[in-house]
C-alpha cells in the first residue's frame, strides 16, 4: 500500500470502529479485499478504488446522525494526507453514487473504479456473511426476523427503502437481486454462488419457522 492509502485505512478504522449493524471495519476490510480481487481482472486506478472502498461508509446517512460533518472530515483528511482536489472529487463521486438506495429510481453512472467498489460492497451483502450482516442490521434497528403475513414489497423507493421491514423480506426485496446488478463478470460469477447459498438458507429458515 502507498503511504497515503495506509493513512486512509487507519482513518477508516477510527471512523467505523464500534458499529454493530454489519458496517464495522471488518466489513470495510472485506470490501477492500474484494476490490483488490476485482482489480486483478478489471483494469482501473487501484489507489482511488481502494481509497473509496475504505471510506464508502464513513458518512452514510443510515450510520451517522451528522453525515455532512463526517463528509467534511473525510475531505479534510484526504487533503491533509496528500490527495489532490481532483482525486478527492473522484472518491466522493464514487461514494455518493454507489449505494443501492442511490440507484433505486435512477441508475447512476460510475467510473471504472466506482463499478469495482460497488461490486465489492454488494458482494459483501450476500452469501454467508451477507446473511449474518442482514440479521445484525435488523437486530440493531428493531426489525422482526420474519412475519409470514407481511409480504415483500414489489417496488422499493428512496422513501420506503429504510422503513421497518422483516429481515427475511430484505432478501427478496434486495439481496437476491444484487448478482444480476453487478458491473463485472467476476462479481456476477461470485455473486451467483452466494445467491444460491442465501436461497437455500431462506428455504430452510421458512421450513423450520413453519414447524
Give the gyration radius of the chain's Cα atoms: 17
Burial call 45-59: b when 16+ CB within 10 Å, e when fewer:
ebbbbbbbbbbbbbb
**Phi, psi (deg, nearest 5) at residue 207:** -65, -45
pLDDT band at 102 (very low <50, low <70, confident <90, very high): very high
Q: What is the pLDDT of residue 163?
A: 82
In this model, does residue 22 exceed pLDDT 90?
A: yes
Average pLDDT, the chain: 95
Residue in 124, 110, 143, 132 with CA at minimum distance from that of residue 28: 124
pLDDT at 87 over 90: yes
Contacts of 55 (CB under 8 A, 6+ apart): 8, 11, 12, 15, 74, 91, 95
Global pTM value: 0.95
Per-residue model confidence as pLDDT tens digits over 110-142: 999 999 999 999 999 999 999 999 999 999 999
Q: Is the pLDDT of residue 76 over 90?
A: yes
The CATH architecture that domain 3-210 belongs to is: Orthogonal Bundle (1.10)
d(CA 30, CA 161) in angstroms, rounded, equals: 25
Q: Tens of pLDDT along 149-176?
A: 999 998 888 888 878 789 999 999 999 9
- Which of 140, 120, 134, 117 has its CA nearest to residue 173? 134
> Residue 114 contacts by C-beta under 8 Å, 6 or more apart in sequence?
49, 52, 93, 94, 97, 98
Residues 6+ apart with CB under 8 A from 209: 146, 148
Contacts 24+ apart (CB under 8 A), 140-148: 140/20, 140/21, 141/21, 143/167, 143/170, 146/205, 146/206, 146/209, 148/206, 148/209, 148/210
Domain limits, the chain: 3-210
Looking at residue 120, its pLDDT comes to 98
Amino acid at each position: 500500500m502507498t503511504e497515503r492509502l495506509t493513512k486512509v485505512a487507519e482513518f477508516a478504522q477510527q471512523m467505523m470502529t464500534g458499529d454493530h449493524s454489519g458496517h464495522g471495519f471488518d466489513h470495510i476490510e472485506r470490501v477492500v479485499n474484494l476490490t483488490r480481487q476485482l482489480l486483478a481482472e478489471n483494469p482501473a486506478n487501484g489507489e482511488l478504488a481502494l481509497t473509496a472502498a475504505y471510506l464508502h461508509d464513513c458518512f452514510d446517512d443510515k450510520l451517522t446522525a451528522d453525515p455532512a460533518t463526517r463528509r467534511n472530515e473525510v475531505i479534510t483528511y484526504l487533503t491533509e494526507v496528500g490527495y489532490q482536489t481532483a482525486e478527492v472529487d473522484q472518491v466522493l463521486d464514487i461514494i455518493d453514487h454507489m449505494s443501492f438506495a442511490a440507484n433505486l429510481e435512477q441508475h447512476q453512472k460510475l467510473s471504472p473504479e466506482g463499478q469495482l467498489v460497488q461490486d465489492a460492497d454488494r458482494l459483501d451483502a450476500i452469501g454467508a456473511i451477507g446473511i449474518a450482516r442482514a440479521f445484525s442490521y435488523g437486530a440493531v434497528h428493531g426489525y422482526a426476523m420474519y412475519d409470514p403475513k407481511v409480504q415483500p414489497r414489489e417496488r422499493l423507493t428512496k422513501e420506503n427503502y429504510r422503513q421497518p421491514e422483516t429481515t427475511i423480506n430484505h432478501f427478496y426485496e434486495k439481496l437476491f437481486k444484487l448478482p444480476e446488478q453487478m458491473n463485472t463478470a467476476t462479481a456476477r460469477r461470485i455473486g451467483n454462488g452466494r445467491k444460491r447459498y442465501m436461497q437455500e438458507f431462506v428455504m430452510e429458515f421458512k421450513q423450520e419457522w413453519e414447524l
